[in-house]
Homo-oligomer: A and B are copies of this chain.
Amino acid sequence: MENRERIIAYALDLFYLKGYDAVGIQEICSAAGVTKPTLYYYFGSKYGLLETVLKEGLGDLDASLDRVLNMQGSVKESLYALMSVLTDYAGANYKGYLFLMTLYYSPRESETYRAVKPYLQKIHDRTVEIFARASRELGNMNGRQEQFAIGFLGLINHYLLFIGYSAETGIRISEEQKRSLLHQFLHGIYS
């Protein structure tokens, strides 16, 4: 692998393990086997490196979310698709996803939150939109779409976080587990 990609990979590794603030530039360079000017040549600053890690790590997720929203179908189908996008992404790139989760909950006045906010906003907005569209199925939402979206994402994120840190090897969510989670969520809506 080339230096640039190695730096990104090791940076994600370390950020995920110890957190952005707790990891020094020198530490990343040593891990990746490069010197500091090499890192600064590619990324300009520590924050620039963070932005690149997020951008290159979350690009696929972003595109997948658009596909879900353009889908036609019932709420159940849409939610299942959304859940699949998130769990599949977490399965394929669990360090990236868990790092994203730590940033989800990072303090609002931190560099890290500033960097990740657009991605989180998009996930949130897309989820709200799925519920907002569903008034035909679920009746007048009366603002409940926000609460539903929060509950849905809270359930998935919390679950993936828990699974991710329990199983050292990564995240594997079966179809069975997905259906079970969705079932747990849906019945509060339908009745």
Which residues of A pack against B, CB within 8 Å? Answer: 15-19, 21-22, 101-102, 104-112, 147-148, 150-151, 153-159, 161-162, 165, 180-181, 183-191
Contact = CB atoms under 8 A, between A and B. Distances in A.
Ranked 3 nearest A-B pairs via Cβ: A154-B158, A21-B21, A105-B105
A19 B184 contact: no
A82 to B, nearest CB: 15
A187 B191 contact: yes
B184 A151 contact: yes
Most buried by B among A111, A155, A159, A161: A155
A87 to B, nearest CB: 14
B188 A159 contact: no
A68 to B, nearest CB: 20
Contact of A18 (B107, B147, B191): B107
A110 B19 contact: yes
Contact of A150 (B105, B107, B162, B189): B162
11 contacts: A16-B107, A17-B109, A102-B107, A147-B180, A147-B184, A150-B155, A151-B159, A151-B181, A151-B184, A154-B154, A154-B156
Given A18-B107, A102-B106, A150-B158, 14 more contacts: A17-B108, A17-B109, A18-B110, A19-B110, A19-B112, A22-B111, A102-B105, A102-B107, A105-B161, A147-B184, A154-B158, A158-B158, A184-B189, A186-B188
A180 B17 CA distance: 37
A110 to B, nearest CB: 5
Contact of A154 (B16, B111, B159): B159
A106 B19 contact: yes
A157 B154 contact: yes
Interface centre among A104, A150, A183 (most CB of B within 10 A): A150
Given A19-B110, A184-B189, A151 B158 contact: yes
